[in-house]
């Protein structure tokens, strides 16, 4: 989001794309949690 944190800093011109690249490299990939939700949605739709 660009409303707070690093996104807001980038939007305000306080961070460059290279700064964001370094932040992304340090933080790493986010954990994927949507697969479980999609599985449950498919299960519910199958019964409907």
Tokens 């599985």, residue located: 39
Q: Which two tokens stand for residue 24?
A: 């992304």
Tokens 């996104």, residue located: 7
pTM, entire model: 0.51
Q: Which of 36, 11, 12, 10 is nearest to 24 (CA)?
A: 10
Provide the domain count of the chain. 1
Q: Is 21 helix (H, G, I), strand (E, B) or coil?
A: helix
The reported pLDDT for the residue numbered 19 is: 92
Q: Which domain holds residue 40?
A: 5-47
Task: State how far the Cα of 37 lies from the Cα of 48, in Å rounded to an integer.
Answer: 17
> For the chain (length 48 residues), average pLDDT per consecutive 10?
82 90 88 79 90
Tokens 């980038």, residue located: 10
């Amino acid at each position: 989001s660009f409303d707070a944190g690093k996104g807001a800093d980038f939007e305000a011109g306080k961070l460059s794309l290279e700064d964001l690249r370094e932040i992304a490299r340090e933080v790493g990939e986010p954990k994927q949690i949507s697969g479980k939700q999609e599985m449950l949605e498919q299960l519910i739709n199958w019964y409907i």
